[in-house]
Amino acid sequence: MAMADAAPTPLTDGLGRRISYVRISVTDRCDLRCRYCMAERMQFLPRSQLLTLEEIALLADMFIARGVRKIRLTGGEPLVRRDVGDLVRRIGRHLQGGGLEELTLTTNGTRLVEHADMLFDAGVRRINVSLDSLDPQRFAHVTRGGDLQRVLAGLDAAKTAGLAVKINMVALNGINADEILPMLRWCDAHDFDLTLIETMPLGETGEDRTRHYLPLTQVVDMIGREYGLRPVTDRTGGPARYHAVEGLRIRLGLITPLTRNFCADCNRIRMTCEGKIYLCLGHEDHVDLRDALRNDGLEAVAALVDRALLRKPARHDFHIDAQGVSSAAHRHMSVTGG
């Protein structure tokens, strides 16, 4: 009797870190132009360069077979991609058999009215929604023309569908710092968690990041003057560190690429919509899976991923100094996925 094939080996990098979380960008396009993320006039990839949804699904199957337990779909804005529901449902089937523990999504919320029910039906139970201001004019300024009411309607649709919502707010000095405490209270009132994020130096956006950089150490001090904060051990697979807020139900997350490096226990890789695996958000080093998949098949892709993981760096290179906020990466955040 022939012996059964050995189970695929788990994904492990050169430092011994297990890779259990993959963020997959399904498109580099977005219907907003947030100032910290994109330039006002973006040059998007030709559609011919994008992975098909079937190719993305095949690569997701491979990652899950190699021990990935969580997949997050990102963009750009993932819900602007035509027929994205087919992909969500295809990956979501792994939740039923236990091969995947969680399928999540990061969105700007503008398409949730149309897609919230589909996401829940496909097995998504939790989403992140980027929202940096509750003031309509300020929101339009930050997003270069976005409609706040459309996002708020999307959040209502997500709650109605049964999706848990976490709000992601990039802390921007001189733009929305005065809204952080009101946002904290608003999220608590709506039963949303809140994660605050330091601006990340990725790509040329036409904005002065140094001027708008707000260390979250200062934000924690500001919140602490009004509410007690207590660190908790909750983790959702990403880089956020969570705190309980005294007197509120909310869980507050902090993502601090500049003031507190979070790389020691990194369990993540990112795949772009054209099939590039970036080994670290803060580095340009990557491998291109698209040609290997199309020309040589999944076995060749798996070997390529293994070789690439040996080069995964110990940490990112985001930093701030007298010259400002800088990084070793020059691509926009929307290229890699949020």
List, for residues 106-122, the tens digit of each pLDDT value.
999 999 999 999 999 99
Q: Which pLDDT does position 235 carry in this prediction? A: 75
Q: Binding site for [4Fe-4S] cluster: residue ranges?
A: 30, 34, 37, 263, 266, 280
pLDDT of residue 315: 53
Inform me whether the pLDDT recorded for 183 exceeds 70: yes
Is domain 21-336 annotated with CATH 3.40.50.620? no
pLDDT band at 267 (very low <50, low <70, confident <90, very high): confident
Q: Where are the domains of the chain?
A: 21-336
pLDDT at 1 over 70: no
Q: What is the pTM of this model?
A: 0.86
CA distances to 38, 53, 298 from 173, rounded to whole Å, are: 18, 39, 46
> Annotated binding site for S-adenosyl-L-methionine: which residue ranges?
36, 76, 130, 200
Query: Is the pLDDT at 257 greater than 80, yes or no?
Result: no
The one-letter amino acid at 74 = T
Q: What is the pLDDT of residue 258?
A: 62
Rounded to an integer, the average pLDDT of 207-222 is 81
Adjacency order of strands within the sheet including 268-271: 229-231, 241-245, 251-255, 193-198, 164-171, 126-130, 102-107, 70-74, 21-25, 268-271, 276-278, 286-288
Confidence of residue 260 (pLDDT cuts 50, 70, 90): low
pLDDT at 16: 87
Name the pLDDT band for 74 (thresholds 50, 70, 90).
very high
Structure confidence at residue 245 (pLDDT)? 97
| Annotated binding-site positions | 23, 30, 34, 36-37, 72, 76, 106, 130, 166, 200, 263, 266, 268-270, 280
Binding-site residue numbers for GTP are 23, 72, 106, 166, 268-270
Closest Cα to residue 292, out of 274, 309, 279?
Answer: 274
Inform me whether the pLDDT recorded for 310 exceeds 90: no
Q: Is 74 exposed, middle or buried (0-12, 13-18, 19+ CB in 10 A)?
A: buried
Q: Say what the pLDDT of residue 327 is.
A: 47
Confidence of residue 335 (pLDDT cuts 50, 70, 90): low
Q: How confident is the model at residue 35 (pLDDT cuts 50, 70, 90)?
A: confident
Residue 332 has pLDDT above 80, yes or no: no
